[in-house]
Chain A
Amino acid sequence: MATPTGAANIAPDQPVATAEGTATPVQPVAPPVPELIQLPLGTALTEAQAQALASDRSVRVVVLAGAVKCGKTTLLTSLYELFQTGPVKAIQFAGCDTFLAFEQRCHLSRADSELETADTLRTTYDGPHPEYLHLRVQNGESDAGHIDFLFTDVSGEMFEHSRNSTDECKLLTFLHQASHFVLSLDCEKALIADKKWGMVQDAKSLIQSCLDSSMLEATCFVTVVWAKCDFFEADKNKEAIAAFVKEVEEDFKDSFGDRIPGLKFHRTAARPSHFRKLKMGFGVRELLGDWITIWRQGRAMQLEPPADNNGKRESELFAKRHNTQEGNA
C-alpha cells in the first residue's frame, strides 16, 4: 500500500484511523497553521537588493578596501557598535535594513561568543560579492533628513586580485557607485620590517589599478586609513613610526595627488586591543563625519548590470575563477 504523505511522522504503535469502507489511513487532524507574512530578512544585501533599496532614495556607497585581515569589517562593525552606545557625535542612528548581518559579524567580539579575545567574522572569498550592509543616520537636529549608507563587505582577496589586473578591477563594478573609497593600511604589518613596504606598495597598486581602469569616479573621495593604529600607539619607537607615516603619505600624494584631489589620511583603531587607552571606534567617528559632510553625489545609486556571463553574477564568477586557480584562501 502506498504510504500517504506525512505518514512517516506517525509512531509505529500509534493507532491510525481508517475511513469507513476504505483502506486509506485518515490523517490525524493537525492544528491549523496560521497564515504567515514574510518580513524583511535583515541579512546582508546582494546587488539586486541594494539596487532595490536605492531605487527610491539617495544612497551613499562607502567601499571599504584593503588586504586580507586589515580590519575592513571590524571598522564597519565598530561603527555599528558605537551607535549601540549612543549618538556618534551629533549623528543619530535612524535605521538599519541589515541588523542580522551586523549582529552576526559582531558576534565574535561579544561576550556571548565566549571567546577570550575579541575577533571579527571573516568575510569569505567564496561568498556572494559584493555584499552590502546598510545604516541610516540623521545628522544633527531633529528635522535633519536621513542619510542612507551602503557599506561594501568584500573579502580582501577580491582587492588583491584587482590590484594585480585592471581587467579584474573592471569587474568590481560597485566601485563606480562609491561616494567614498576607504583604503586601509594595516599598522600591525607596518611594524614588521620585511612586510611594511610591500603592504604600502600593494595598497598603492590597488589605487593605481582602480584609477587606470577608470573605476573610481571623479565624485568619489579617497581616504587612506592607518587601521589598527593602536599598534603604533603601543610601540616605543614613535620617531621611526612618524617618519615612516610621513614618507608613505608623501609617496601617496606624489603618486596620486593630481588624480585624487581630495586624498585624505586618517587613523583608526576600531577595536584597540593593543593600546587600551584608546577607546573602541577610535577615529571611526571622524570617518563617519567625513562620509556625511563630504559628498558630491546627489543621485540615487545605480548599480550596473553584470556583463554577459551566462546568467551568473560577475562577482561570483570572479571569486569562482580565482578559487579554482588558487584554492580558497
Chain B
Amino acid sequence: MSSPQSHSFLLIGLPSTGKTTFLAALWYAIQQRQSPTALVLKKLDGESKYLNEIRDAWLAYKPVGRTQIDTEKFVSMWLKRSDSDEEVHLTFPDVSGESFKQQWVSRQITVSYDKCLRSANGGILFIHPNSITLPLRIMEVDDLASLIDDAVAEEVASSPTAAPPSTPWDKEKSPTQVQLVELLQFLIRRPHFKPPFRFAIAISAWDLVAVSNVSPEDWIAKQLPLFSQFLSSNHKLFEATFYGVSAQGGEYEGDDVVALQSKNPARRVEVVGKGIKNRHDITEPLLWLMR
C-alpha cells in the first residue's frame, strides 16, 4: 500500500471566529457513521484528550472555549478517504485568535508558528459575522442620523457646544479586513512562502447570515471589500475558495438549542460553497485543500 499523504493546514482567524468549534465538529464527524463524510478516522495515534474535550463540549451544546495563547495545541489526525483506502495524515496548529491579534498589534510571531508556516500546504481562514469591526466613519454616522430626522441632524451639526476630546487611537480596534490582509501579507513576506498558497475562507456561524441568501464569496465582497479585493488581485499568491460553515448548527441559547437537540449531531453541521456535494460534510473544505 502506498504511504499516506501528509498535509499540514493552518487554522487562521482573529479571536472568536470559530476555529476550535470547527475542530470539535470535525473530530466528531470523522468518527461517526450516521452521516457520510468524505474523510473518516483511520486510527487514533497518541494524545487525543484535547480533541475529545472540545468534542464533548460541542456534543453537549456548550461553548468549546477559546484557545488561550499559553495552551496552543498541535493537533494531528490519521484519516482515510471513505471512497478508497488512501490514507491522509492531517496536522493543524490550533493557534489562539489572540496570537493572530497580537501579530497585528505587536508585529511579531513566534518561531514555532513560523515553523508551522514553513510546513503548511494550505489553510482555513475563519471569519465570524459577529466579530467584524467595520471602518465606520463619522460622516457615515451623520448621514444615517440625517435619514432618521433631518431637523435633529441639522441641530446637531450646528450645535455650538464645545467638541469633546478625541479618544486615543487604539490599533486593536482597526477594521477586521485590514487586520486580515495584514496577516496574509505577513505570510507573503516570510522567506519560505511558496505561492500559490491555498486558502479555504470559512465564514463561521453561516446560519446567522444564510437568510440573506448570498453566496459566501459575495458576502465577503460586501462585508469585507478590502480583503476581497486583496484576494482577487493576489490570486497568483493565494488560491482561495469560500465556504459558509455552521459547525455549531445554531445558537446554544433559547429555542435554537431545542431544535439542535432534536437533530442527529452529525447533521447539525452545514457547509455551503462551490462544489459542495454533501452539505453536512465538514471535511469538504479539507478535501478542497488536499486537491
Contact = CB atoms under 8 A, between A and B. Distances in A.
Interface of A: 31, 34-42, 81, 83-87, 92-97, 99-100, 103-104, 106-119, 137-138, 142, 146, 271, 273, 276, 280
A84 B225 contact: yes
Nearest to B225: A86
Nearest to B179: A99
A117 B138 CA distance: 7
Q: Which of A41, A100, A104, A146 has the most CB of B within 10 A?
A: A100
Contact of A94 (B112, B166, B233): B233
A324 to B, nearest CB: 30
Interface of B: 70, 103, 107-112, 114, 135-143, 146, 156, 159, 163-164, 166-167, 169-171, 173-175, 177-178, 181-182, 185-186, 189, 225-226, 229-230, 232-235
Contacts of A113: 138, 166-167, 169
A106 B170 CA distance: 12
Contacts of A280: 137, 139
The 9 tightest CB contacts between A and B, nearest first, are A94-B233, A138-B233, A107-B169, A35-B111, A118-B138, A34-B110, A93-B229, A92-B229, A111-B136
Contacts of A117: 138, 163
Contacts of B181: 95-96, 99
A40 B188 CA distance: 12
B23 to A, nearest CB: 22
B229 A40 contact: no
B137 A37 contact: no
Given A37-B110, A39-B109, A39-B189, A103 B171 contact: yes
Given A95-B230, A112-B170, A42 B107 contact: yes
Contacts of B109: 36-37, 39
Contacts of A119: 166
21 contacts: A31-B70, A36-B108, A36-B110, A39-B103, A84-B178, A92-B232, A93-B229, A103-B169, A103-B178, A106-B135, A107-B169, A110-B138, A111-B141, A113-B138, A113-B167, A115-B138, A115-B166, A116-B159, A118-B138, A271-B139, A273-B139
Contacts of B135: 81, 84, 106, 110
B137 A116 contact: no
Given A93-B230, A95-B234, A104-B169, 8 more contacts: A92-B233, A99-B174, A103-B171, A112-B169, A112-B170, A115-B138, A138-B233, A142-B232
